[in-house]
């Protein structure tokens, strides 16, 4: 079983008469329980890679499979449905909604789906992430680390099979960053997610199962334990 699979995926952008190849032909896969780090310089194609996996944009060529099923080739409406069910996004700081409490950030999924919220699951998740006592607080009352934990809780709440995190610790100091990444690693294993985290911070890759380097749109796996 593969949680994520990319087959010969590339992405080009037209810029006037020039074509930018943001992602060159890429084959990639990740299994349930695998925590993958992507590092690489700014502009190398990391976010393009992540948003293509998440179905926020489509590849120019090639195909993305989620849970062994075609994903990128689906029609927009079907793709949005699958994305909602299977993908959890965690972005850099402040993708929380300012006028909702921590708990309401999670319950929003139910509002959209017109379903009842699972209060037990919410309490359990907030407890696991150590923010239960912050359930009724607004984002402005939280520290950076607490906000990212809330964002992780929200991403996990609808039980996606894939977690995509684009520099989730960019706004945190090293200690908080490590804390957040440890939680991500734990949840990835515990709940058999496939998690892909883009990061600038080399130290965080210690908590990942595999590390890939993106350079000029080319993704290469790095051999582990160079220490």
Positions that interact with ligand ADP (CB under 6 A)? 13, 15, 20, 22, 40, 42-48
Question: What DSSP line would sit under 36-52, residue for residue?
Answer: EEEE--TTSSHHHHHHH
Q: What does 43 interact with, of Mg ion, ligand ADP, none (CB < 5 to 8 A by kind)?
A: ligand ADP
Q: Looking at beta carbons only, is 109 or 170 nearer to Mg ion? A: 170
H/E stretch holding 29 reads strand 18-30
Measured from the CB of residue 46, what is the shortest distance to ligand ADP in angstroms? 3
Shortest distance, position 154 Cβ to ligand ADP, whole Å: 22
| Among the listed residues 134, 120, 129, the one whose alpha carbon sits nearest the alpha carbon of residue 156 | 129
- Compare residues 24 and 191 and give the one whose CB is closer to Mg ion: 24
Residue 203 to residues 72, 179, 200, Cα–Cα distance (Å): 32, 12, 9
Closest contact distance (angstroms) between CB of 215 and Mg ion is 14
Which lies closer to Mg ion via its Cβ, residue 67 or residue 95?
A: 95
Tokens of 50: 């992540």
User: Which of Mg ion, ligand ADP, none is residue 103 near (CB under 5 to 8 Å by kind)?
Assistant: none
47 scored as a contact of Mg ion (CB under 5 A): yes
Q: Which residue in the block uniquely carries the two structure tokens 């294993």? A: 189
Buried b (16+ CB within 10 A) or exposed e, 35-71: bbbbbbeeebbbbbbbbbbbbbebbbebebbbbeeeb
Among Mg ion, ligand ADP, none, residue 44 binds (CB under 5-8 Å by kind): ligand ADP
- Smallest separation, CB 224 to ligand ADP (Å): 22
148 binds, among ligand ADP, Mg ion, none (CB under 5 to 8 A by kind): none
Sheet holding 4-15, edge to edge: 18-30, 4-15, 61-66, 69-70
Nearer to Mg ion, 146 or 166 (CB): 166
List 214's β-bridge partners, or say none: 219
Which of 47/205 has CB closer to Mg ion?
Answer: 47
Binding positions for Mg ion, rule: CB under 5 A: 47
């Amino acid at each position: 079983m593969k949680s994520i699979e990319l087959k010969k995926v590339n992405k080009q952008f037209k810029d006037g008469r020039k074509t930018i190849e943001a992602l060159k032909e890429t084959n990639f896969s990740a299994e349930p329980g695998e925590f993958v780090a992507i590092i690489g310089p700014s502009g190398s194609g990391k976010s393009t890679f992540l948003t293509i996996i998440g179905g926020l944009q489509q590849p120019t060529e090639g195909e993305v499979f989620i849970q062994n099923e075609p994903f990128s080739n689906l029609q927009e409406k079907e793709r949005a449905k699958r994305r909602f069910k299977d993908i959890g996004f965690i972005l850099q700081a402040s993708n929380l909604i300012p006028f909702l409490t921590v708990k309401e950030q999670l319950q929003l999924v139910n509002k959209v789906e017109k379903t009842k919220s699972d209060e037990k699951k919410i309490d359990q998740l907030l407890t696991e992430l150590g923010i239960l006592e912050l359930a009724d607080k607004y984002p402005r009352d939280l520290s950076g680390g607490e906000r990212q934990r809330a964002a992780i809780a929200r991403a996990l709440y609808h039980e996606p099979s894939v977690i995509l995190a684009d520099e989730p610790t960019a706004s945190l100091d090293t200690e908080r960053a490590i804390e957040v990444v440890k939680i991500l690693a734990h949840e990835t294993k515990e709940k058999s997610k496939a998690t892909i985290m883009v990061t600038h911070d080399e130290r965080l890759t210690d908590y990942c199962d595999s590390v890939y380097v993106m350079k000029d749109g080319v993704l290469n796996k790095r051999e582990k334990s160079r220490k």
